[in-house]
Amino acid sequence: MSIINNASKGSNIEALYLLDRTITQFSLKNPDKYLPEDKLMLITAPNNLFEGDEKDDSGSFKRLVNPEKKVRETLAFWGENGLWDVSKEGVKSHSILDNSDQLPKRLLKLIASKEYDLLNGNDIEPFLRFLTLFLCIDEITFVGQQILDGKKAGELVEKLVADDLVNNAMSLNTNERPFFFSYAYLLGFLEQIDKRKYFVDPTRAIKIFLPDIFKDKKHLYFSEFLSRLNACLPVFDEGEYRLLVEDKMIRDVDDWSPDKGIRLSASLSIAIERLCRERRIVCDLGSDSKNRYYLTLPNGIEKIISNIQYLED
């Protein structure tokens, strides 16, 4: 089941944070020990936490099973996917330096470390399919000024995704949208502008990958930067997943005309511009460069780049 489906084992972000905080705090104090699962459940799912308002025939409050089930399922799902070190003895952090404040970074790198059957998989893949789709669409960024919310997301999927794929579990139904937004925001691909209202902006996600992209060179041609960025997670312009979505998922409609190559999408352009303003990177136009990239920025601002330099933290 997909992580953006409420019935899926990995969908509950609240349980994920609760477990991760408990596991990382335990490992910090006990670096060589595993936290037994039964003890972990006592901490994260105590009996009184799951008592409802209704009483049974004996006068005791009825126990709510679903929250406890979510905690156990979340532990199983993300443990199996490698977020923590899991053994028969229990669970612990991979490093004593792990903490819940770093959960978005660790989770994104974990997701990025795996290969996916993007068009057919039904685990993390549905999240990546819709993420890649929305990264394509300029109008739901700060450039286009169209807010992405549940209604808009449904309209875009219905409008752009091919009918046969929509009918095959690609409808992003109303129950899935809150989980998609929660994960996309957590991982740094959306910025929230109001309750349940977002712009697509992958700045925070790209920032996580910068040290890996520039690990051996601080100056790159932008074409090489883009190639290295997509080697981390190929959802950006010219990436493998991006091309799959554009070629296989998008129906042939008059208002869909993705610019390939020299003009960057608004989502990537906004991220590059923000990272420049934050002094994480510097971009310029080299006189000898063969490949020039045009940024898609608000108010029709023109900016052309060919080189990028990493300034580190």
Q: Do residue 194 and residue 213 come from a single domain?
A: no
In this prediction, residue 49 carries a pLDDT of 56
pTM of the model: 0.89
β-pairing, 293-294 with 281-284? Answer: unpaired
Q: Output the six-digit token pair for 225.
A: 């930067």
Amino acid at 303: K
Each residue's pLDDT tens digit, 201-249: 999 999 999 999 999 999 999 999 999 999 999 999 999 999 988 887 7
Give rounded-to-5 percent helix, strand, coil for the chain. 45, 15, 40
If asked whether residues 183 and 273 sit together in one domain, one would say no
Domain assignment present for residue 115? The answer is no
State the pLDDT at residue 200. 97
Q: Which of 95, 248, 259 is nearest to 164 (CA)?
A: 248
138 and 69 in one domain?
Answer: no
pLDDT at residue number 149: 95
Residue pair 306/222 in contact (Cβ under 8 Å)? The answer is yes
Question: Which H/E stretch holds residue 13?
Answer: helix 13-29
Residue 255 placed within a domain = yes
First to last CA, the chain: 38
Instruction: Give CA–CA dist 116/139, Å, rounded.
Output: 28
Of 145, 171, 204, the residue at which a domain comes to its end is: 204
Residue 306 and residue 211 share a domain:
yes
Residue with tokens 């006592």: 42
Lowest average pLDDT, out of 38-47, 91-100, 247-256, 278-287, goes to: 247-256
89 and 143 inside one domain: no
Tell me, yes or no, whether 112 lies in a domain.
no
271: closest CA among 195, 217, 213?
Answer: 213
Give the per-residue pLDDT at 257: 52
- pLDDT at residue 4 in the model: 85
211 and 185 co-located in one domain: no
Last residue of a domain, one of 204, 234, 262: 204
> Does residue 152 have a pLDDT over 90?
yes
Question: In the prediction, which pLDDT does 60 show?
Answer: 64
* Per-residue pLDDT band at 172 (split at 50, 70, 90): confident
Is the pLDDT at 48 greater than 90? The verdict is no
In a domain, 118, yes or no: no
Q: Are 52 and 46 contacting, i.e. CB atoms less than 8 angstroms apart?
A: no
Domain end among 204, 231, 247: 204
pLDDT band at 255 (very low <50, low <70, confident <90, very high): low
> Which domain range does residue 20 map to?
13-103
Q: Give the count of domains, the chain.
A: 3
Confidence of residue 265 (pLDDT cuts 50, 70, 90): very high
Cβ atoms of 233 and 132 within 8 Å: the answer is: no
Count other C-beta atoms under 10 Å from residue 31's C-beta. 11
Q: What is the CATH number of the domain that holds 138?
A: 1.10.10
pLDDT value for 95: 94
